[in-house]
Amino acid sequence: MTPSLLIVALALLSFIAFQIGKARALSVAGGARGIRDLHSLPGHYGMLAALWAGLPALLLVILWVSLQDRVLIAIVTSHLPASVMALGQDGFTLFLNDVRNVIAGNIPASQVSAEAAVAATQYVRLQGYSRMALTALAFAVAVLGLFITRSRITPELRARNSVERVFEGLLFLCSLVAVLTTLGIVLSVAFEATRFFNIVPASDFLFGTRWSPQMAIRADQVGSSGAFGAIPLFAGTLLISFIAMIVAVPIGLFSAIYLAEYAPSQVRKVVKPLLEVLAGVPTVVYGFFAVTTVGPILRVWGESVGLDVAGESALAAGLVMGIMIIPFVSSLADDMITAVPQSLRDGAYALGATRSETIKQVVLRAALPGIVGGVLLAISRAIGETMIVVMAAGLAANLTANPLEAVTTVTVQIVTLLVGDQEFDSPKTLAAFALGLMLFIVTLVLNVIALYVVRKYREQYE
Amino acid sequence: MSDSAASVDSLKTKVPAKTIGDITVPSPVFSCRDVDVFYGDKHAIKKVNIDIARQQVLAMIGPSGCGKSTFLRCLNRMNDTIVGARVEGQITLDGQDIHEKRQDVVQLRARVGMVFQKPNPFPKTIYENVAYGPRIHGLAANRGELDDIVNQSLRRAGLWEEVKDRLNQPGTSLSGGQQQRLCIARTIAVNPEVILMDEPCSALDPIATARIEDLIDELRESYAICIVTHSMQQAARVSQRTAYFHLGDLVEVGETNKIFTNPQAKLTEDYITGRFG
Amino acid sequence: MSSTNNSAVKSAAETQQQVRNSLARRYRAERRFRFYGFAAVTAGIAFVVFLFGTIFAQGLSVFQQSYVKLEVFYDPETIDPAGNRDPDDLVVADYQALVRAALREEFPQVEGRPNLRELYGLMSSAASIELQRAVTANPDLIGQRQTLWLLADDTIDMVLKGNVSRQAREDERRLSDQQIGWLNALEQRGDLDLRFNRSFFSNGDSRDPEQAGVRGALIGSLLTLLITLLLSFPIGVGAAVYLEEFAPRNRLTDVIEVNINNLAAVPSIVFGLLGLAVFIGFFGMPRSAPLVGGFVLTLLTLPTIIIASRAALKAVPPSIREAALGMGASRLQMVGHHVLPLALPGMLTGAIIGMARALGESAPLLMIGMVAFIVEVPQGIVDPATALPVQVFLWSDLPERGFVERTSGAIIVLLLFLLLMNATAVWLRNKFEKRW
């Protein structure tokens, strides 16, 4: 049976187990009138039987399927003739690709080497055995679970408590997914990055000023040709984020102030959602906007005042990114401003402060930690933003502070290094993970600080 | 509660149309005539007439929701900040209508300071809290003058000795009673003519309350003070005149001694003797 | 308190004068400040208008496409010389010859190979594919004549839509003067017209702008979102219920909480790296598949859904919990019977907003290879596929003028879906929002 069919079959079996468990509970209770003698409702007994029949078998299937491929490949590899083993790292990878393609039916066996064809046949045969074994084992576990539970059903059995413990466990697992995700990010990205740092020293990466990851094709040039100094990328990222902040922070902050403190409620009701529309627009749309509209406009303006603006200038990418971040800043600032208690405003008004004096010196002053936190979050977003810069910023790793020139960013390079055909072990690919690790660490630090500041601020006025 | 509500209802019919007692004083600082306040549809203050005397404390008492705080907020137009609030009638400050077009609300509030129920120091240092008013109004020509104003204000609020060594600490680091005295210092730093106090001691403990009450008594020499209070003892202790509000009506005004010993209106008597409220 | 003689204490009148003196300056500052706020709001609105304005101005024309009316003769000599109507032969027959013959009939005066080649260049290669479909579906057409509107080449389309001027230099408009002449002739006869663009909604990707459509990307996006929804909603709700209703206050749950908040702010591309390293690198799942895309977007949207679901649970008043527990319900029964049904609309709203975010997401999909040139419409969750925003990215990079319009058109489709989802969320919230 294929794994998906097996899961359907197990679900069916669980349903049957539910009915059996329920019937058994009714019979030990001596019919419907005896239900009050049971510890739990008959349905709970049924559920317990269903869980015991279904869950262990399901876990077995998931574990088996996720490991099956690696085990089978290992077995097939161990039976390969010496000629294949002599191919070397790259040759072997290609060989395995051939084998996989034959297995998947993408190419007929006649088009690959005889060894690969044999290996593929062996794999398919082993896969057949493996599936048979899994089917038998899963059913055995399920039926065993069902019968043991059925024999345990007595009026005293605390079926509801057991069922609920299982459900609580499942809920706990759900909440653990988030932790596992973080763990997965840290482990996988850090693992690949470590491999990168084994090839390229971390100091070259962190402090080098030349970035040209195109590796030479011949093996003897590795290390002598590619340059992995990430400083130009960091500088480019900062430049674009800085431009974005120059656009987003004043506009976002002032529109939040205007909408919260000045605008009549009808205006606020219309304008606020209108600005928030900007937050719902996919970033790829901003990227397109930057390339087709803002970039050319800037170039024409530049020409008219005698400035040479690059086609993919940092300015265009930064401006558009700033527009994207406006609603983010304004809604955070709005939250912070409205959280300032009215009593503080009253205090200032009662002293005869004008509205702007109250806002500038009391409201903003009180909301400052929250706003700073919000701006930090916005910076973290700008640094991690990908599509706008991939589309509107360049690939050239220029180390410059001139916003009219093209710069590249960390995210652009990750995308460039990883999109398209690639081998998994080249420094080029691994460099992307090293960059990803940097990105993750920097944004994480910013987020942790920002969330801490914002939370402290909220607590102050709660 | 239902009991007293019923009795209030039965009394309501006997409420006189006009306020009992003498509403006028010689050379009043505030003079209010036929003042109505509406919150949307709610008629919160009904045709109130009263004068406020200089260098005297006027206490406003009455059961919760009777409109005394609302009336207080009319005097420096703090009701402007509440959406849907509407004030009608005439309120004059030194003979000038405060609702007149020419009247600047910023200037009005510089003349009529206010202290709130809950201490609300700004999230700034103690010094900056007091210096804020003089700064925005441009009352000090230089740093030295400003220092003098802060110093004087804190002294007059009786806070100087406690905070002179930590003027640069946040105002929120003070205790509740100190915070309230800081708010008073902040108010007098602007050199107002009238100080409005909206239950200034309701969030404080008895000792802090006693200090504020002493302070009010001292400040009376320089300012007209209007205080809203829930505590009849406090009204009796600090005020020279007392006004009794009931459901938006000003029922009775008079010398504090007279109000507390010999109230004219039945409602006032019931309230003072503790039959409701 | 004997300080009344100090110079700092001024008379009230003096103070009043000082206040009055400061007023003009302060009100100027007030107006200036207010203007800044107003300018910021105006700028924000201007950006919205400008952004949508340009996208719609460039993209609305995509819903129409240039078609040429040709009288096609299904010549048996050309497509079925054997005369046996064998389906295998019919599929591979030379339908292009039919289109060319029809064009020659339309312009009998054109002679000579180079001129004829220019003439054939008026039509899209999709025209012959359409004829092939028609014949294989209905072989009885062979030998008959039929008047059809067939797809024109994208260069024609651009001229007809006014994106390229007829007066432009010959090399700029990518059409020869001769072709412009034919174009004018066809237009005068009413044989060239803009009609509703079917192929944009029925085709997958293509190298030819006039044939490229969003169907493949749309199906890819829907499959990906389906996986995302099926995984992230139950897991997200489960996690929220655990944290809100069951979790003891201890170090572990604190870690989970902080974790979820931080995960919500991790750049999306990092999730792509995770998907590449774990799902494709470690578990050996197929590249470019909606299945893996769905997994990655699940992890990406999970924090959003958990946070929204927790807010929905928090909004259920404790009195209802106490009532249920007081009746002797277990915690799980309390949650299942009372709390969850009340919180469900809020959770659904959160889920839809999460899905809208997932629909617009492209960076992580680039990482897991959903960025390939794929003509076929995906049939299942492990077929290679792309997604709508990624299609926008791919098309935006292409040089042909026709793809600018396609890109904007794809964006409009994407925005319409987002609008639909957000409107549903708002409707749901308004319909079920309860004030306790």
Contact A348 B107 (CB under 8 A): no
What residue ranges do the domains of chain B occupy? 2-272
- Candidate from C33, C269, C356 with C-beta closest to A356: C33
Q: What is the pLDDT of residue C160?
A: 85
With a cut of 80, say whether residue B12 has pLDDT above it: no
First-to-last C-alpha distance (Å) of chain C: 54
Can you tell me the distance from the alpha carbon of B131 to that of B148, in angstroms, rounded to the nearest whole number? 10
Q: What is the pLDDT of residue A424?
A: 61
Q: Residue B48: phi, psi to the nearest 5?
A: -90, 135
C128 in a structural domain: yes
Nearest CA in chain B to C19: B137
Q: Which positions in chain C touch B107 (Cβ < 8 Å)?
A: 16, 19-20, 23
Q: Which positions in chain C touch A275 (Cβ < 8 Å)?
A: 41, 44-45, 48
Contact C15 B155 (CB under 8 A): no
The set of chains that have 3 or more CB pairs under 8 A with A is: B, C
The set of chains that have 3 or more CB pairs under 8 A with C is: A, B
Task: Give me the mean pLDDT over the A6-16 stretch.
Answer: 91
Can you tell me the distance from the alpha carbon of A18 to that of A28, in angstroms, rounded to the nearest whole number? 15
What residue ranges do the domains of chain A occupy? 3-157, 227-460
Contact B81 A351 (CB under 8 A): no
Nearest CA in chain A to B115: A347
Q: pLDDT grade, residue B52 (50/70/90)?
A: very high
C223 in a structural domain: yes
With a cut of 70, say whether residue A116 has pLDDT above it: yes
Contact B152 C20 (CB under 8 A): no
Which of C173, C205, C237 is the C-terminal boundary of a domain?
C205
A365: closest CA of chain B, how far (Å)? 7
Contact B187 A350 (CB under 8 A): yes
Task: Verify that C23 and C108 share a domain, yes or no.
Answer: no
Q: Which residues of chain C have pLDDT under 70?
A: 1-10, 433-436
Domain with residue C352: its CATH number is 1.10.3720.10
Report CA-CA distances (Å) from A381 to A235, A385, A442, A447, C278: 16, 6, 11, 9, 24
Contact B104 C26 (CB under 8 A): no
Task: Verify that C364 and C279 share a domain, yes or no.
Answer: yes
Contact B106 C7 (CB under 8 A): no
Q: Of chain C residues 317-336, which have a CB less than 8 A from chain B?
A: none
Q: Answer with the residue of higher pLDDT: A260 or B65.
A: A260
> Per CATH, which fold does B2-272 belong to?
Rossmann fold (3.40.50)
Beta partners for residue A211, in sequence order: A228
Q: Which positions in chain C touch A277 (Cβ < 8 Å)?
A: 48
Q: What is the pLDDT of residue C360?
A: 94
- Predicted confidence (pLDDT) per residue in A232-269, tens digit: 999 999 999 999 999 999 999 999 999 999 999 899 98
List the structure tokens of A352. 């005869």
Task: Give me the mean pLDDT over the A276-304 stretch.
Answer: 91
The verdict on A109 touching B (C-beta cutoff 8 Å) is: no
The verdict on A193 touching C (C-beta cutoff 8 Å) is: no
- Predicted confidence (pLDDT) per residue in A424-451, tens digit: 667 888 889 999 999 999 999 999 999 8
The domain A227-460 having CATH identifier 1.10.3720.10: the answer here is: yes
Burial class (CB in 10 A: 0-12, 13-18, 19+), A191: middle
Nearest CA in chain B to A262: B81
Range of the domain at C21: 12-60
CB atoms closer than 10 angstroms to residue B164: 12
Task: Verify that C274 and C422 share a domain, yes or no.
Answer: yes
The CB-based long-range contact list for C8-16 (8 Å cut-off, 24+ gap) reads C8/B145, C8/B148, C8/B149, C8/B151, C8/B152, C9/B152, C9/B191, C10/B139, C10/B191, C12/B111, C12/B191, C12/B192, C12/B193, C15/B110, C15/B137, C15/B139, C15/B190, C15/B191, C16/B107, C16/B110, C16/B111
Task: Verify that C284 and C327 share a domain, yes or no.
Answer: yes
The verdict on A350 touching B (C-beta cutoff 8 Å) is: yes
The verdict on A217 touching C (C-beta cutoff 8 Å) is: no
Beta partners for residue B33, in sequence order: B90
- Candidate from A184, A262, A354 with C-beta closest to C26: A354
Task: Give me the mean pLDDT over the A46-61 stretch.
Answer: 91
Task: Verify that C195 and C243 share a domain, yes or no.
Answer: no
Contact A175 C242 (CB under 8 A): yes
Task: Verify that C90 and C176 share a domain, yes or no.
Answer: yes
Contact C260 A291 (CB under 8 A): no
With a cut of 80, say whether residue A83 has pLDDT above it: no
Q: What is the pLDDT of residue C10?
A: 67
Q: What is the pLDDT of residue B3?
A: 44
Contact C40 A191 (CB under 8 A): no
Nearest CA in chain C to A294: C51
Task: Verify that C140 and C272 share a domain, yes or no.
Answer: no
Nearest CA in chain A to B105: A352
Contact B122 A366 (CB under 8 A): yes
A289 alpha carbon, distance to own chain's centre: 25
C1 in a structural domain: no
- Predicted confidence (pLDDT) per residue in C123-180, tens digit: 888 888 888 888 888 888 888 888 889 888 888 888 888 888 887 777 777 788 888 8
C337: closest CA of chain A, how far (Å)? 14
Q: What angle do CA A356, A361, A367 make, to 5 degrees?
A: 105
Q: What is the pLDDT of residue C435?
A: 57
The verdict on A346 touching B (C-beta cutoff 8 Å) is: yes
What total of structural domains would you count in chain C? 3
Q: What is the pLDDT of residue C83?
A: 79
Task: Give me the mean pLDDT over the A135-159 stretch.
Answer: 89
Task: Verify that C26 and C70 share a domain, yes or no.
Answer: no
Contact A253 C40 (CB under 8 A): yes
Contact C266 A440 (CB under 8 A): yes
Q: Of chain B residues 153-192, which have a CB less than 8 A from chain C?
A: 155-156, 158, 190-192
The set of chains that have 3 or more CB pairs under 8 A with B is: A, C
Q: What is the pLDDT of residue A422?
A: 61
Contact A350 B124 (CB under 8 A): no
Can you tell me the distance from the alpha carbon of A235 to that of A397, in angstroms, rounded to the nearest whole number? 9
Task: Verify that C176 and C232 share a domain, yes or no.
Answer: no
Task: Verify that C222 and C160 share a domain, yes or no.
Answer: no
Residues in chain C: 436
The verdict on A185 touching C (C-beta cutoff 8 Å) is: yes
Q: Which helix (H) or strand (E) holds B250?
A: strand B249-255
**CB-CB contact of A211 with A228 (8 Å):** yes
Task: Give me the mean pLDDT over the A208-223 stretch.
Answer: 63
